[in-house]
Structure 1
Amino acid sequence: MPTISMFYGILVSMYVLDTQKHHLPHIHVRYAAFKTVIEIPSGEVLEGSIPAKQMKLVQAWIVLHADELMADWELAAHGEAPYKIDPLR
């Protein structure tokens, strides 16, 4: 699972060919012992949870990088590795 960004202890990943379980464009987010799956570009939680502060950071990052995330999703859905995306600063 390629990590596409990392900021403030938050790891954002996107699986290649990961269209079976959720059927929606999404990212996998890890923070400490927490894990969640978040739809892109809406920022809605599909599964799991992370603390509210980190969720707000991830959702802000999604808004800033929505086009890049959707482009990465297209690559990953077709079996190609997604590109890295700048972290939240």
Structure 2
Amino acid sequence: GMQSIGARLRGRGGVRYIYYLENDQKQLVENTYTQVRPERSFTLLEDVDCPAVLAEQCFVTNDEDVEHFGSEQGCKAVARIYYEAICTYFGTEPLPVK
């Protein structure tokens, strides 16, 4: 849904993972990477007892992203896409846009 409002997907299908190495250096891996890593990645996602997704709709250091998603209209559009994705996950019908 994010592509429909102007977001560019980064990585393969828009999914990438970042791991931090011992020297605080970042290692970026694609979603096809299957090696099980001993270090934790995002505690927020690992310590929950329910389905969880960490979403990042824009980079505040990217002028184009800020232009698309930094306004009230942009935030509302992103919130709607997240809402519709959650409805899809639970198999419910989203309420119409007001």
TM-score interval (norm. to shorter): 0.3 to 0.5
More helix by share: 2
More strand by share: 1
Highest CA radius of gyration, 1 or 2?
2
Which structure has more relative contact order (CA 8 Å, sep 6+)? It is 1
